[in-house]
């Protein structure tokens, strides 16, 4: 469970992502800036141990059932793959990691343009019943530009729909 990608590269604010993600991430952040929107990198790769801390904190505050809708258990986080990022914004920093992020200029820009750069907004209100996770407008998962284009053609918004798998959190 303690997976460590062997091709992590450092991007904005010292966060790390897989090398295949870095160019699309930089392109997206630059394009947003060209549109007057400042995206800030909040989180990239997370180790098993760090996810264990995050999940443990959620358990302590919310209890197991709600914590599992907010955070993946250690060893199950998309962040550990190096393919997921959490972005924030300069306009309302208090909305970073908060549902109100979706209503910020940054959240609206991401919702409109994310697929152009090979990313999905992984957990949305519209697909909560499919993914099993509460909405996180800031949590993006890189799948590549080809797959996001195919998903747009098919009219699907989740990896669960593409690969016909059940959503989490279901730890079997």
CATH classification (class only), 8-45+82-163 = alpha beta
pTM of the model: 0.91
The residues assigned a catalytic role are: 136
What is the residue extent of each domain of the chain?
8-45+82-163, 46-81
Q: What is the pLDDT of residue 121?
A: 98
pLDDT tens track for 44-61: 999 999 999 999 998 999
Average pLDDT over residues 100-126: 97
| Nearest-angstrom CA–CA distance, 142 and 26 | 12
Q: What is the pLDDT of residue 68?
A: 82
Q: What is the pLDDT of residue 170?
A: 61
Q: Does 149 score more than 70 pLDDT?
A: yes
pLDDT tens track for 1-29: 678 999 999 998 899 999 999 999 999 99
| Nearest-angstrom CA–CA distance, 35 and 48 | 36
């Amino acid at each position: 469970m303690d997976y460590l990608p062997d091709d992590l590269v450092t991007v904005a604010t010292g966060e790390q992502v897989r090398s295949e993600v870095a160019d699309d991430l930089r392109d997206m952040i630059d394009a947003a800036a060209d549109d007057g929107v400042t995206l800030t990198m909040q989180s990239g790769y997370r180790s098993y141990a760090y996810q264990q801390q995050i999940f443990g904190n959620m358990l302590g505050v919310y209890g197991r059932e709600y914590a599992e809708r907010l955070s993946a258990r250690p060893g199950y986080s998309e962040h550990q793959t190096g393919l997921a990022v959490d972005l924030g914004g300069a306009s309302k920093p208090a909305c970073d990691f908060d549902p109100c992020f979706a209503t910020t200029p940054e959240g609206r820009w991401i919702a409109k343009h994310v697929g152009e750069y090979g990313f999905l907004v992984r957990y949305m209100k519209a697909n909560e019943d499919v993914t099993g996770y509460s909405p996180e407008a800031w949590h993006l998962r890189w799948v590549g530009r080809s797959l996001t284009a195919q998903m747009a053609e098919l009219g699907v918004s989740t990896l669960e729909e593409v690969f016909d798998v059940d959503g989490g959190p279901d730890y079997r």
